[in-house]
Amino acid sequence: MASFFSDFGLMWYLEELNKKEFVKFKEFLKQEILQLRLKQISWTKVKKASREDLANLLLKHYEEKQAWDMTFKIFQKMNRKDLIERAGREIAGHSKLYQAHLKKKLTHDYARKFNIKAQDLFKQKFTQDDCDRFENLLVSKATGKKPHMVFLQGVAGIGKSLMLTKLMLAWSEGIVFQNKFSYIFYFCCQDVKQLKRASLAELISREWPNASAPTAEIFSQPEKLLFIIDSLEVMECNMSERESELCDNCTEKQPVSLLLSSLLRRKMLPESSFLISATPETFEKMEDRIECTNVKIITGFNENNIKMYFRSLFQDKNRTLEAFSLVRENEQLFNVCQVPVLCWMVATCIKKEIEKGRDPVFICRRTTSLYTTHIFNLFTAQNAQYPSKKSQDQLQSLCSLAAEGMWTDTFVFSEEALRRNGILDSDIPTLLDRRILERSKESESCYIFLHPSLQEACAAVFYLLKSHVDHPSQDVKSVEALLFTFLKKAKVQWIFLGCFVFGLLHESEQEKLEMFFGHQLSQEIKHQLYQCLETISVNEELQEQIDGMKLFYCLFEMEDEAFLMQAMNCMEQINFVAKDYSDVIVAAYCLKHCSTLKKLSFSTQNILSEEQGYREKLLICWHHMCSVLISSKDIHVLQVKDTNLNETAFWVLYNHLKYPSCTLKVLVVNNVTFLCDNHLFFELIQNQRLQHLNLSLTFLSHSDVKLLCDVLNQAECNIEKLMLANCSLSEQCWDFLSEVLRRNKTLSHLDISSNDLKDEGLKVLCGALTLPDSGLISLRLEACELTGACCKDLASAFVHCKTLWGINLLENALDHSGLVVLFEALKQQKCTLHVLGLRITDFDKETQEFLIAEEEKNPYLSILSNV
C-alpha cells in the first residue's frame, strides 16, 4: 500500500476539488504560507499548476506532514469536511492493516520464539484479569498527563518478553488500548543492535507488512504511539550523551544507541509512550537519566511455584522434599530458581546427581558448583565416567565463544562467530540437543545460550583453561581487567561472571575441572586475583568505585577463609547496597573478617524493617555486619542510607556504636527511618569524637530537632559540621537551631538547604548570627524559598558575624533590589564573606551585569554557581 502522504495521495485529494474550489484552494494556500512564514513557492508556478503539479510543488518545498497539515487546514476553511473524514478513514485503515499483520506475526513467528504451537496460541483466550494486568502496566503514578514511560524491571529469563508479546497480541486482537494507541511498535534490542545505524522510520518500516510504511502519517500523531523496547541491557547505550548530541529527526540515520537515547530521553517524539524492559542493574544505571512515570518489578516463580515444579519432576514425595529443602536452605540458589528456565536447570541437575548415587548436598552449597555440575553433565555421556575428547573440545570452544560475547556485549551469535571460536557446523545440532544453546528468538541462523548466566559460567571456565592472549578475539581482556570491570559494574549485563571466576577456584571445582579436561590447571589465576585486590588497597579512588556487594559475592563463592581475610584486609572503605536476605547473608560473611576498614557506607532498604517473623539467622547476620564497627579499630566514617530499621535491628546497631572502641568521627544518616524511639539515636551523637553529622534526606519532626539541638547545646558536643538538607524541617525548628547558633562554640558549618525556611525563619537564624561570638563559617541555604525581602537580615549577619566565610543562596527568588542591599553590606570593612553562592544566569541581564561588576570591584569575593 502506498504511503497516505505520497504525492499520489495528495494529488488524489486535489482531484476531488472542482475548478472553482481548486482556484480557492490556491488562494488559501498563499495566505497559509505567509501566515506560517514558510519557504515561498513561486506564485506564478502555483497559479499555472495543475492538480498533479501543485501536489509535486508542495511535496518538493515542504515535508510531507507539513504539506498535509496545510491541506487539511484549507479543506476546513473550504468546508470540505467530507475529504477530511475520508482521510481519517484511510488513516484508520492503515492501523487496522498493521494490527492484522502484527497478529499474524505474533501467532506464527513468536510461537516459535516461545516454543508454543501457533494453533495453541490462537486458542488462548485473554481473561479479564489478563486485560486488567496489561492496562495497569500503563497506569501512571505521576500526576498530570505525562506520556507513559514505564520500566519493566526483572532478571534475565523471568518472563518480561513473553508478557510484552502477550500484551501486543491482546492489542492486535482489539482487546486492550484500542482508543489509546493507533500503533504499537516492538524493538528487540538484540535485533536492533545488529543494525549499527538506522533511522526510526527504517525501524518502523521493518515492522510494516510491506515495503512502504506510511511513516509520515504514523509520526503525525505521536501521542497515539506505544514503543516497546525489549532487553535494553544488551545495548551499548548509557543515555549519557549531551542534549545537543541527541536527534529529533525520525528519518535521519544515526547509531542505534543514539537513536534509542533520543527516543527515551524524549528528544524525538516526546508525546509517545514507552514500555521498556531490562534487568535491575540496567535500571539502576539509567534511572537518573530516563524520566519514568512508573517502574514495575516482574517476578518469576514464587516458593509454591518452585515446589510444584520440583514435585512434577521428582514425583516421589520424599525426593521432592529432599531436593526442595536443599534449594530453600541456600538463599542464592533459591533466588536463581525464581527464573523458570533456571529452575528447570537446578531441578534436573539435582535429579541427575541423585540418579548417579551421589549426594546432591555438595553441589547445592555454592551456585558455581551447581552450574558447573550441570554443564559437565551435559557434555558427559549418560553412563560414562569421563567425557570424550570431542565433548572436551566442544565445551572449550563454547567457553571461548562465551568469553568473546561477554567482552563484546554479544548474546546473539552468528554461525561465523561460532566457527571463529572452533565450533563446527556439525557441532551445532549436538549443542542444541543438549540445551546449552538454542536458536535465537529473532533469527533461525543465530544462536544464544539457554540463559545469559550459563554464558557467564562458560566464560568464567575459559579463564581457568586459557590465557586471554590465546583467544582468537583481541576484545577478550585479562582476568585482572575482568575483575575490575565486574567490581566497578562497568558492564551492567555482567551479573555472575566475577563470582563464577572466584567460585571456580574452590578446591572441589578445581578437581571437577581437572577431571573433566584431563589435565592439571594452573594456579596462577588465584595469585593474579590477589594482586588485583592489593592494587585496590593502595588506590583510594579505585576503592570508591568498587561495588562492595559484588566483591562480597565473589569471596562468598570462593569459600576460602584465608583468602577472604587477606582480601577484606585490603579494603579501607566499602560501599554496598543489600537488597534482600541473600545480600545480608553474604555481606555478613565477609564483613565479620574485616579489621582494616576506615569508611563503611551501606543501605539495607526494607530488609530490617519487618516487626514480625524476624528470622533468627537474619538477626545473626545483622550482628556480624555491625561487628565491623568494633573489629575495625580505625573506622571513622559510617554512612547509612535508604534504610528502614525496626527496634530490634536498631538496638543491634546502637550497641555496636556505643562500644568504647568505636571511634566514629563522621556519621551520615540519609533517608533512614527508625521504627523505634528516636531518643536513642540522638544519644549516639553525644560521642565526643563525632565531628560531622549528616542527616540530610531523613525526615525530622520538630521533637526530633529538639532532641538533636539539646545534644548540640551540651558543652561536651564537638560536632563541627551539621547537614540537615531536605529533612522537612517545620517552623518550630528555627528557634531550636537559633539557640544552637547562640550557644554552640564548635559548630562551624551548617546546611539546611531544601527546607521551607522562608524569610521569617531566616530572620530568626540571623538574629543569632549577629551576636559577636557566633562561630559559623559556612551556611548553605539552597532552595529555601527565600525572597529579596530577607536580604536586609542577611546583610546584618554579613556585617556582624566575624567568622562567616561562605554562604550558598542558589535556587532562591532573590531580586535585584535585595542583591543591592547584600552587596552594600559586603563593602563594609567588618564583613568577612569571601564566597557567595549565586547562579548569575538565574537573573535578568541588568542584574547579571550588576553581579559581574560587583565581583570585579571586590577581588576577595567569589560568586560561584555551586559552593
Q: What is the pLDDT of residues 697-726, one digit of tens each?
A: 999 999 999 999 999 999 888 999 999 999
CA atoms within 13 A on the CB side of 697: 10
46 SS3 class: helix
The number of C-alpha atoms within 13 Å of 771 and in the hemisphere containing its C-beta is 17
Of the candidates 717, 725, 715, 720, which has an alpha carbon nearest to the alpha carbon of residue 753? 725
Distance CA 272, CA 689 (A): 55
The number of residues making up the chain comes to: 867
Ranges of residues in the chain whose predicted pLDDT is under 70: 1-9, 64-65, 86-93, 108-124, 140-145, 211, 236, 442, 610-614, 864-867
3-class SS at 433?
helix
**SS3 label, residue 209:** coil
Q: Are 769 and 807 in contact (CB under 8 A)?
A: no
Q: Are 349 and 325 spatial neighbours (Cβ–Cβ below 8 Å)?
A: no
218 in Cβ contact with 208 (< 8 Å): no
Asked whether the beta carbons of 226 and 275 are under 8 A apart, the reply is yes
d(CA 315, CA 746): 72
CA contacts within 13 A on the Cβ side of 96: 6
Question: DSSP strand E in 592-720: where?
Answer: 599-603, 637-646, 666-675, 692-694
Looking only at the bridges linking them, the beta strands covering 692-694 and 721-723 are parallel
- Secondary structure element (H or E) that encloses residue 562, with its range: helix 561-568
pTM for the complete prediction? 0.82
CA 423, distance to chain mean position in Å, is 35
Please list the residues that pair with 863 across neighbouring strands. Answer: 836
pLDDT at 122: 44
Euclidean distance between CA atoms 815 and 822, whole angstroms: 11
Distance CA 822, CA 125 (A): 72
d(CA 55, CA 556): 71
Structure-block grid coordinates of residue 121: 496460541
Backbone angles phi, psi at 225, to 5 degrees: -110, 135
3 state DSSP class of 145: coil
Asked whether 863 and 840 are in contact (CB, 8 A), the reply is yes
Is 721:752 a contact under the CB 8 Å cutoff? no
| Residues sharing a CB contact under 8 Å with residue 56, sequence separation 6 or more, in sequence order | 7
pLDDT of residue 121: 43
Nearest to 395 by CA among 369, 374, 368: 374
H helix or E strand, kind and range, residue 778: strand 778-780
What is the number of alpha carbons within 13 Å of residue 819 lying toward its C-beta?
A: 26
Q: How many CA atoms lie within 13 A of 40 on its CB side?
A: 4
Q: What is the largest CA-CA distance in the chain?
A: 99
Give first-to-last CA distance, the chain, whole Å.
Answer: 61
Whole-number Å distance between alpha carbons of 332 and 86? 61
Check if the beta carbon of residue 309 is closer than 8 Å to that of residue 347.
Answer: yes
Q: How much is the CA Rg of the chain, to the nearest whole Å?
A: 33
Check residue 790 and report its DSSP letter. G
DSSP 120-135: HHHH----HHHHHHHH
User: How far apart are the C-alpha atoms of 379 and 513, rounded to whole Å?
Assistant: 12
Residue corresponding to grid cell 572466584: 502
Q: Apex CA 846: angle with CA 841 and CA 850, to 5°?
A: 85
CA-nearest of 626, 634, 372 to 521 is 372
Taking the C-alpha atoms of residue 510 and residue 342, their distance in angstroms, rounded to an integer, is 24
For 472, 580, 763, 802, 839, the CA distances from 818, given in Å and listed in that order, are: 69, 52, 14, 22, 15
What are the φ/ψ torsions at residue 384 (nearest 5 degrees)? -90, 150
Q: How many CB atoms lie within 10 A of CB 436?
A: 24
